[in-house]
Amino acid sequence: MYGRALSCALLSPTTRCTIPQLIRYFARTAAAGAQQDVTTAQLPEISQYFQKALPHQEVYDLSLNNPSAFWGSLARTRLSWYRDFDDVIDCDMTKAKLKWFINGKLNVSVNCVDRHYMKTPDKVAIIWEKDEPGQQENVSYKQLYEMMNQLANTLKSHGVRRGDRVCIYMPMTPLAVAAMLACARIGAIHSVVFAGFSADALTSRINDAKAETVITADQVLRGGKAIDLKSTVDRAVLDCPCVRQVFVAQRTGAPVSMGQMDMPLESEMAKQSTECEPEVMGSEDYLFMLYTSGSTGQPKGIAHTQAGYLLYAAITHQTVFDYREGDIYACVADIGWITGHTYVLYGPLCNGATTVLFESIPTYPDPGRYWEMVERLRVNQFYGSPTAIRLLLKYGDSWVTRYDRSSLRVLGTVGEPINTEAWEWYHNVVGNGKCDIVDTWWQTETGGICIAPRPSRVAAPIIPGAAMRPMFGIAPAIVCPDSGKEFTGNDVYGALCIKLPWPGMARTIYGHHNRYVDTYFKPFQGYYFTGDGAHRDKDGYIHITGASAFDEWTTVLFNSRRRHRLGTAEIEDSMDEHGGSDVAWAPAGCAGIPHPVKGEGVYAFVTLMEDVQKDTDEIITELKSMVKKQIGSFAAPECIQITPGLPKTRSGKIMRRILRKIAANRGDELGDVSTLADPSVVPMLIANHAPIE
């Protein structure tokens, strides 16, 4: 039915690319399970399009010039619907009115589980890489289907209804994934809170979401240490009048006290059927909300909807990571962050993939953990964070090279800029010089990857440490923060904005729509403002220069007349590149400070390696000369503070607004520091503030 209509009606008048070609482009590497669902049964035999690839540029141009044709055809071929949508897009960025796949009806859990369960019930959906070294458990699509349905029925039988918020505060276990999918099954909105957050942080997130139900576990295991979750929840819910029930799963079996609101999850599930009728959801109903990590301010409860988010997750997962049927795909992010939502769960499962659920930490039992897992599971794609890569680099190559990594094809990073040294190590040592490194830029708000070296069909060059190319449908704009005008040429620095809507974008900050509009759509009229700064280089490739476009630039005078705008990421990168074996310091954090001559100067925070013998004055001189050599003397930090630690969020990101305040000697104006992993760093930094030269 749709096939004929599509190939007639959705030809793009503005590009040379046709819909059958488009289907071929995506079908080439698509997961088998994602192609032949109810609605696509009558499309022309997709396999006939498998043969040749289209040039990336043509497909990308189509996605911008005719987004309705592009996304409409993908939505119909890649998702299963109860009811087809009437229109593809109804968006007005000036008003933050964002609607996709109008009046379509679907269920996300059906797309992620049922259709694969029906075709390949025994295929492994999840490989649970447990905290205990060398221990894995495989969960087939059938097992996931049954677990999800029993959990969905449990929630239903305890009064959870469509639209209710359910807070999930759980370890990285298959039950946690089943809990998210169970919410999707019954139309409840999940709000996953990273199971490392304190009781206070949990309280504020539960109250903001007005969640009545919490799903947790007795304990979480991380790096061999058992940490109580249930007792944290007990303390958190004391101040949550909205909570009426808490389900408690068993991870370690440690005894926990059960109060009136508490119910043991597994025994409740055991009473339930393994079949649960999926709720028929509208495309624009909420799927989940998720709080950002708080690196730039008060965490925001970002809300995503059903169809657009899922489609964007699936397409980006397939194309950025070159996902192919049969691959073992490992994203080691926690499900408490957006990376875990999109690239551990929704993207891979929508594509019928086998996804690894990594419960541990990169250094347990030793710094070879990731690569031993790669060898044992024969992982094809590995997606992690620059923080972890930088950490592992310190331990030397032998922890990597002792394991067989020949299965790896793609290595990804996300979350922060990856400095050149870490990139080279990832590429040369981990990937043996053979894997594509994808530095992926995106945000909780964007739902999925927006800028990454791939997709590109041919072996196009990849620049170390650059996100480079926009994804399908993403139209990046570099905007002058002073005039608000878009820079049209290349070799420009500015605020990173996106000028066209895309299906994966967040729809609101839950319960605070005005804040959503003010934060993302007001700064530059008609654009989505990312909050980040970027440089479009002379070849047109995008480099992220730092989070928070306005604050993380420093405009320094570099000769008597010219000012130069620099990203703090660039300066940090030049300090990280110490080269050779003379490793003395770990990555630095930089902030701009007022400077009487230059306008703005640079204040750098540097942590030293544990066994550093060198004199700190010598290190400071060396660091300055490195920046001078690599960028220019105008960028050399005025001031370098050697510190035992940096203020980091629980997702491992440097909380830069704190560095800025401390650098400016305004340690009394720090604001909310509740999301810091180790708040004791802050007084230490304040006490050791270095005078500006």
Q: Which parts of this chain interact with ligand ATP (CB under 6 A)? A: 292-297, 299, 337-338, 414-417, 439-444, 467, 530-532, 544, 547, 653
- Cβ 486 to ligand ATP shortest distance, Å: 19
Going from the C-alpha of 175 to that of each of 66, 152, 172, 188, 250, the distances in angstroms are 41, 12, 8, 17, 10
Of 15 and 342, nearer to ligand ATP (C-beta) is 342
- In the complex, the smallest distance separating the C-beta of residue 652 from ligand ATP, rounded to whole angstroms, is 10
> What single-letter DSSP state applies at residue 113?
I
User: DSSP assignment, residue 148?
Assistant: H
The beta strands (E) that lie in 309-349 are given as 328-331
Q: Are strands 262-264 and 245-249 parallel, antiparallel or unpaired?
A: parallel
Least gap, CB of 80 to ligand ATP (angstroms): 29
Q: Which is nearer to ligand ATP, 85 or 528 (CB)?
A: 528
Nearer to ligand ATP, 444 or 641 (CB): 444
Q: Which is nearer to ligand ATP, 514 or 621 (CB)?
A: 514
Q: Residue count of the chain, please give it.
A: 693
Specify whether the CB–CB gap between 431 and 405 falls below 8 A: yes
* Least Cβ distance, residue 442 to ligand ATP (angstroms): 6
Alpha helical stretches, state H, 48-168: 56-65, 67-78, 108-109, 115-119, 141-157
Token pair for 87: 């229109």
Between 61 and 532, name the residue whose CB sits nearer to ligand ATP. 532
CB of 175 to ligand ATP, least distance (A): 24
When the beta carbons of 377 and 492 are compared against ligand ATP, the nearer one is: 492
SS3 content of the chain, % helix, strand, coil (to 5): 35, 25, 45
Q: How far is the CB of 284 from ligand ATP (least distance, A)?
A: 22
In the bound state with ligand ATP, the residue whose beta carbon lies nearer, of 77 and 443, is 443
Task: For the chain, report the end-to-end CA distance as a whole number of angstroms.
Answer: 73
| Least distance from ligand ATP to the Cβ atom of residue 655, Å | 8
Task: Report how far residue 439's alpha carbon sits from residue 442's, in angstroms, rounded to the nearest whole number.
Answer: 10
**Cβ-based neighbours of 139, under 8 Å, separated by 6 or more:** 124, 125, 126, 127, 128, 147, 174
Residue 357: phi, psi to the nearest 5? Answer: -110, 105
Question: With left for phi above 0 and alpha for psi between -120 and 50, is residue 163 left, alpha or beta?
Answer: left
> CB of residue 174 vs ligand ATP: minimum separation in angstroms?
24
Nearer to ligand ATP, 144 or 422 (CB): 422
Q: Which is nearer to ligand ATP, 75 or 547 (CB)?
A: 547
Nearer to ligand ATP, 38 or 460 (CB): 460
Beta bridge partners of 555: 565
Whole-number Å distance between alpha carbons of 453 and 192 = 29
Alpha helices by DSSP H, 394-446:
398-401, 420-425
Spatial contact of 243 and 211, defined as CB atoms under 8 Å apart: yes
Burial 370-395 (b: 16+ CB within 10 A, else e): bbbbbbebebbbbbbbbbbbbbbbee
Q: Which one, 85 or 194, has the nearer CB to ligand ATP?
A: 194
- Cβ closer to ligand ATP: 219 or 444? 444
Please give the single-letter amino acid code of residue 226.
A
Of 33 and 340, which has the nearer Cβ to ligand ATP?
340
Taking the complex as a whole, the smallest distance from the CB of residue 326 to ligand ATP amounts, in Å, to: 28
Q: How far is the CB of 543 from ligand ATP (least distance, A)?
A: 9
- The CB-of-651 to ligand ATP minimum distance in angstroms stands at 6
Q: Between 72 and 347, whose beta carbon lies closer to ligand ATP?
A: 347
**306/567 Cα distance (integer angstroms):** 36
- Single out the residue of 564, 556, 566, 473 nearest to residue 65, CA to CA: 473
User: What is the per-residue DSSP string for 276-313?
Assistant: -PPP-EETTSEEEEEE---SSSS--EEEEESHHHHHHH
Minimum distance from CB of 343 to ligand ATP (Å)? Answer: 12
Min CB(88)–ligand ATP separation in Å: 26
Tokens standing for 640?
Answer: 């370098």
Beta strand 585-595 with 105-106 is unpaired
Is residue 42 packed enough to be buried (19+ CB in 10 Å), middle (13-18) or exposed (0-12)? exposed
Choose between 127 and 411: whose C-beta lies nearer to ligand ATP.
Answer: 411
- Which of 502, 496, 633, 640 is closest to 556 using CA atoms? 633
Distance set, CA 585 to CA 104, 328, 386, 423 (Å): 54, 36, 16, 17
Output 2 or 197, the one with its CB closest to ligand ATP: 197
Alpha carbons 526 and 634: distance in angstroms, whole number: 35
Please report, for residues 363, 569, 576, the alpha-carbon distance to residue 392 in angstroms, rounded to integers and kept in the order given. 8, 20, 14
Residue 291 CB, nearest distance to ligand ATP (Å)?
8
Least Å distance, CB 371 to ligand ATP, is 22
In the complex, what is the shortest distance from the CB of residue 362 to ligand ATP, in angstroms, rounded to a whole number? 18
